[in-house]
Structure 1
Amino acid sequence: MTAPTRVHTFTDDALADHDAVELARLIRTGELSAAEAEAAAVARMRQVAPALRALAYEAYDAPRRADGDGGLLHGVPTVLKDNTHLRGMPTNHGSDAIRALPAKRDGRYTEQFLSAGVTVLGKSRMPEFGFNASTEFRSAPPTPNPWNTGHSVGASSGGSAALVAAGAVPIAHANDGGGSIRIPAAAAGLVGLKPSRGRHIAGDTTRTLPIDIISEGVVTRTVRDTATFHAALERSWRNPALPPLGLVEGPARRRLRVAMIVESVTDAVVDTQTKAAIERTATLLEEQGHSVEPISIPVDARFGDDFVRYWSMLAFLAGNLGRLTIDPSLDASLLDGLTNGLRRRFTSGGWRATPAALLRLRGATAAYASVFDHHDVILCPVVAGVTPPLGELSPTVPFDELIERLLRHVAFTPLQNVSGAPAISLPMALSEEGLPIGVQLSAAYGDERTLLELAYALEEQSPWPRIQDRIQDQPTG
């Protein structure tokens, strides 16, 4: 077995170590052509393919380019996650059980995503239906973490996170139904904003959900890339029910009231390195002039169990109705152990408690919102510990053990999915093993601006660890 290694592609080519905003500027001014950026990205993606296996579908010979020269990120190479329809590319939702034909049309969200001006070079890998917190599979090799290929890159947007962290593309599509932007961002040392529910056009999957928990977004290496992407999409379509976001370009001067939470919705124990990262971030925030106050988690003690019931119901619907709602090629006999375990959990009696669980989950929105009567931001972990070794969260692990491991790990992110509020993962530290540790900031519904302004300030105050730098040169938790 090959020893775990770091994998990155940063070199002196057309992409260099530019973020998406700088690449777009170079293309706009003619200092670099979109074709040169595209070719460099293809070369980098081919370079990391054997180690990272991050693509579900390659479109190097037939990329989807933006129409015209509009869009704040015109010409910037990227990938789309494998649960979003793009005309001419298949959508297999990370599952062996689906053998989809190329999509005949773009998904509901895809047009808005493309309005940023990006060039799509393929589809990124994800675990089956996005149910897992690691990009691992029933029978195929996993997508590992570029920082250490023996560890998980998180999920479900793990393929996107691996490619951005390794420098193959500067920005990549991600979406989040329980932490699927923030968890891979934390694992891979990236910025991952889950926007407010309704901030963008909803993807196709959300039409069938009893509670809409999915938000669309990206993973990036800089705050300004994330801010610019969301500003670009707002130019295409803006939800009139939400305050406009606009282009957030730096920190604000406001002094904020920060609530710090280190207890989880699943009673998981937060490891010492993650606690240290939270405490260090709290200190940095206080140095900026903000006040930080520890508080208790603001939801019903049954929240974790209720979310698992909803999760199980979604697996049941995917397995039992997926040929109608997902893809007609779906073969339920090929579903992985996690999906099947969740289905069994639902059919063996979990369905009886589901109506009450859904009612309590809807009630969590008001409980979460009440925090912001006295605070502006919540500071907490993204997950309960450093990203685990590959295999620990594999769908081949017996279900009862796997679900317990997942509940111990995915202990903070689902609350914002249920409430619809925005949250951002920031790479605030490295573990003793040189793996990134993400810290989560969340705000009131519709207040992404505060999160981006605060993220700018933290990025300026304590620059993110870089995969291309030596471990000993990095800040640690």
Structure 2
Amino acid sequence: MKDYEKYDAVALAELVRTGEVTPAELVDAAIDRAESINPKINAIVTPTYDMAREYAERPPQGPLRGVPFLVKDLNHVAGVPTSMGSRLFQDYVPDHDGHVVMRFKNAGLNIIGKTNTPEVGLAATTESVALGACRNPWSTDHTPGGSSGGAAASVASGIVPVAHATDGGGSIRIPASCCGLVGLKPSRGRTPLGPDVGEGWGGMSTGNVVSRTVRDSAALLDTIQGPMPGDPYGGPSDSDSFLTRLNDHPGTLRIAIDCRAFTGHDTHPECLDAVQKVASALAQMGHLIDEQALPLDHEEWGVAVGSVIFANVAHTVLARCTTLGIEPSLDYLERNTLRSVEIGQQLSATNYVKAIQRMHQLSREMATFMENWDVILSPTLVCPPVKIGWLDPNDDPDVYGARFGGYWGFTNLYNATGQPAISLPLHRTTDGLPVGVQFAARYGEEVTLLQLGAQLESELPWPLIAQLE
């Protein structure tokens, strides 16, 4: 198929619907592009090309019938290994699909493989010992972000128009920022995580996609939203399609700006420039803009979020170690993961309950703040994409921790509160690296973010495909 990479998922589905191309032609185009590009970026770690070609012969009559797709290697596809980016899970092959994968398949998406992710999804870059470094298509010396780095690299390079991603502390929005993509983290409970877990990281984790266009993020959310029976969170309910409402005007929005990183590090000038440029455009569009200080005790809720993450990582790793009859060690784990397990083991049940209660209190504090504001605007990251190896999860833990705070510092608040947040690719550095800008809305108001994203996509269009050397 000519110019396959220039189409988004909605456009490809329309070509299939009208008979201009077949699902078999689409999957062949995607596989050809993957075989050409993936050796340069290491985005796809488990190809499923034979399975995809077979699926293309009889795809379901869903709204995205025949569109090539990739699943992050933290989630289950029946009969396909789930490595979790770790040597500890390298031989694990699930016998069932995750609920969100079932919905992707029912929509007609054709899974051509699984994408690179850091060990147990813990890092904000994608360079594990088990799977190797994934590279940013815009500059292969730089990280694509994490933990959905393989997903973002595959979409930015045009292998697929959209790919599955998850977000427990920023893992949809961070790679979207690094790779020049749209990355929407839905509200807590909007999309299912079962059947293997009811919640991820104490309710902080959720799933969706990264995409090149806003309408693809809207269309994909339509296909997967809503709880499954027995899910612990009912989630917000939207009977109307996000895609059909996408081009409705969101009205005059009250937008608060806060560019102070939660980690206390100085925000990079390029990221500040990105926010100021976007704020000016928003004001010209008629929205009301003002700088505000979010009412947060950063240290207190940071400790709470860390406790929840460490405890959940410890549980995941120790359960696998018990199955294998081994102890957690550097023979199977990276240094940052092992340290997280050790911290998690030291936490008491009362520590965990205290952390969850603090997160719930934070949600109420932010809900009160949002009574006066429709949207919060900030950078997505503290700095532009860093070079591969600069944030190495096998580095000295103290060095890693210090560098981490200078890179990541805006995203995890909205995981803790459950609010929806989106990163949009609205800026480029002087070296041409993507820089994302983040918007957060009230719980359940993804439509506001998508409509605002569509406005900005029209006013400040972004490059869609990275041209690898």
- Asked whether the two chains share a fold, i.e. TM above 0.5, the reply is yes
Does the 8 Å CA contact 2:89/2:320 hold for their aligned counterparts? Answer: no
Query: Which of these residues, 9, 17, 26, is aligned with residue 37 of structure 1?
Result: 26
The 8 Å contact of residues 85 and 131 in structure 2, kept in 1 or not, is answered as no
**Structure 1 equivalent of residue 164 of structure 2:** 173
Residue 93 of structure 2 aligns to which amino acid in structure 1? P
Name whichever of 275-284 and 69-78 sits farther off.
Answer: 69-78
CA distance in structure 1 between the partners assigned to 2:173 and 2:166 by the alignment: 9
**In structure 2, what residue type is equivalent to 1:192?**
G
Q: Which residue of 2 aligns with 1:422?
A: 420
For the residues of structure 1 that align with 2:177 and 2:437, how far apart are their CA atoms?
7
**Alignment partner, residue 261 of structure 1:** 258
Q: Say if 1:69 and 1:348 are closer, same or farther in 2 by CA, change over 3 A.
A: closer
Q: CA deviation at 1:139?
A: 5.7
- The code of the aligned residue for 2:271 comes to T
Correspondence for 1:8: none
Q: Larger deviation: 89-98 or 438-447?
A: 89-98
Residues 178, 435 of structure 2: 8 Å contact kept: yes
Q: Percent identity?
A: 34
CA distance in 2, matches of 1:388, 1:351: 37
> Does structure 2 retain, via aligned residues, the 8 Å contact 1:251–1:454?
no
1:236 CA drift (Å):
10
The answer as to whether partners of 2:137 and 2:467 remain within 8 angstroms in 1 is no
CA distance in 2, matches of 1:109, 1:133: 23
Shift in Å, 1:304: 2.0
The DSSP-based 3-state class of the residue aligned with 2:432 is: coil
Mapped contact 1:258–1:291 kept (Cα < 8 A)? yes
Would the aligned equivalents of 2:67 and 2:108 in 1 still touch at CA under 8 Å? Answer: yes
1:65 aligns to what SS in structure 2?
helix
Aligned in 2, Cα 1:77/1:470: closer, same or farther, shift over 3 Å?
closer
TM-superposed CA distance for 1:363, in Å, is 1.1
Residue 4 (structure 1) aligns with: none
Determine the structure 1 residue equivalent to 2:191.
200
The answer to whether the 8 A contact 1:190-1:426 is kept is yes
Query: Unmatched 5+ residue regions in structure 1?
Result: 1-11, 472-477
Distance 1:147 1:245, change over 3 A: farther
> Does the residue aligned with 1:403 lie in a helix, a strand or coil?
helix
Letter in 1 for 2:239: P
Aligned counterpart in structure 2 of residue 136 of structure 1, from 127, 130, 133: 127
Secondary structure of the equivalent of 2:337? Answer: helix
Matches within 5 A, 1:10-409: 13=2, 15-63=4-52, 65=55, 68-138=59-129, 140-204=131-195, 206-207=197-198, 209=200, 211-234=202-225, 241-246=236-241, 247=243, 248-252=245-249, 254-301=251-298, 302-323=300-321, 332-333=328-329, 334-347=332-345, 353-409=351-407
Tell me the TM-score normalized by structure 1: 0.90
Q: State how far apart, in whole Å, the 1-side matches of 2:293 and 2:44 are.
A: 40
Match of 2:444 among 423, 446, 457: 446
Cα deviations across residues 205-257 of structure 1 (Å, max 9, x unaligned)?
64365721111100000001111111233499796743435123315151110
Deviations 1:240-281 (A, max 9, x none): 743435123315151110011111222121100000001111
The answer for unaligned runs of 5 or more in structure 2 is none
What is the root-mean-square deviation in Å for CA atoms of aligned residues?
Answer: 2.4
Q: CA deviation at 1:183?
A: 0.4
Structure 1 match to 2:435: 437
CA shift digits 1:92-118 (9 cap, x unpaired): 111111123432111232212222210
Say if 1:429 and 1:437, in contact at 8 Å, map to a contact too: yes
CA contact (8 A) 2:191 2:226 kept: no
Distance 1:463 1:299 in 2: 34
How many residue pairs get aligned? The number is 458
Q: Is the contact made by 2:192 and 2:225 (CA closer than 8 Å) also made in structure 1?
A: no
Opposite residue 266 of structure 1, the aligned amino acid is: T
Distance 1:244 1:300, change over 3 A: farther
Question: 2:468 and 2:99 mapped to 1: Cα distance?
Answer: 42
Partner SS, residue 154 of structure 1 = coil
Residue 418 of structure 1 deviates from its aligned partner by 1.1
TM-score, length-scaled by structure 2:
0.91
CA distance in 1: counterparts of 2:51 and 2:238, whole angstroms:
38
Distance 1:196 1:240 in 2: 7
User: CA separation in 1, counterparts of 2:2 and 2:96?
Assistant: 34
